[in-house]
Amino acid sequence: MKISSRYYWCNGMVGQRFLLLLENHPWVEVKVVAASKRSAGQSYEEAVEGRWKMTSPIPERYKKMMIEDGEDVAVISKQVDFVFCAISLDKEIRRRQKP
């Protein structure tokens, strides 16, 4: 049985690399991809159009996945067992945020 996972901020360069690494992972299946409100509602392929940086093409299994709003944690966390996140956030900013 595979662990269902969610992937936050999946359309940047680090996110793209993570998705390639997880594409054929024996224990993890990416079921949800999430990003900013700007990308939410688009297919993954639309969201990375013209910005795909990897040498391998976008895996077919992710192209049509609809990106969900990364801030909608309550809804998405009910859909998965595990969460990956590829966001760069200043530590000082993070300390000031509410838990």
In the block, tokens 């940047």 appear at 12
Contact 64, 93 (CB under 8 A): no
The whole-number pLDDT of residue 4 equals 62
Domain boundaries of the chain, sorted by first residue:
3-96
Alpha-carbon gap, residue 93 to 24, rounded angstroms: 35
List, in order, residues 6 or more apart from 95 with CB less than 8 Å away: none
What is the per-residue burial (b if ≥16 Cβ within 10 Å, else e) of 60-71? eebeebebbbbe
Residue 3: beta bridge partners?
A: 28
pLDDT of residue 58: 92
| pLDDT tens across the length of the chain (99 residues) | 665 655 555 667 778 888 888 888 888 888 888 888 888 899 999 988 888 889 999 999 999 999 988 888 788 778 888 777 766 656 665 566 655
pLDDT of residue 43: 95
Instruction: Please give the model's pTM, rounded to 2 decimal places.
Output: 0.76
Q: How far, in Å, CA of 26 to CA of 47, rounded?
A: 27
pLDDT at position 64, please?
95
Q: Which CATH number fits domain 3-96: 3.40.50.150, 2.40.50.140, 3.30.160.20, 3.40.50.720?
A: 3.40.50.720
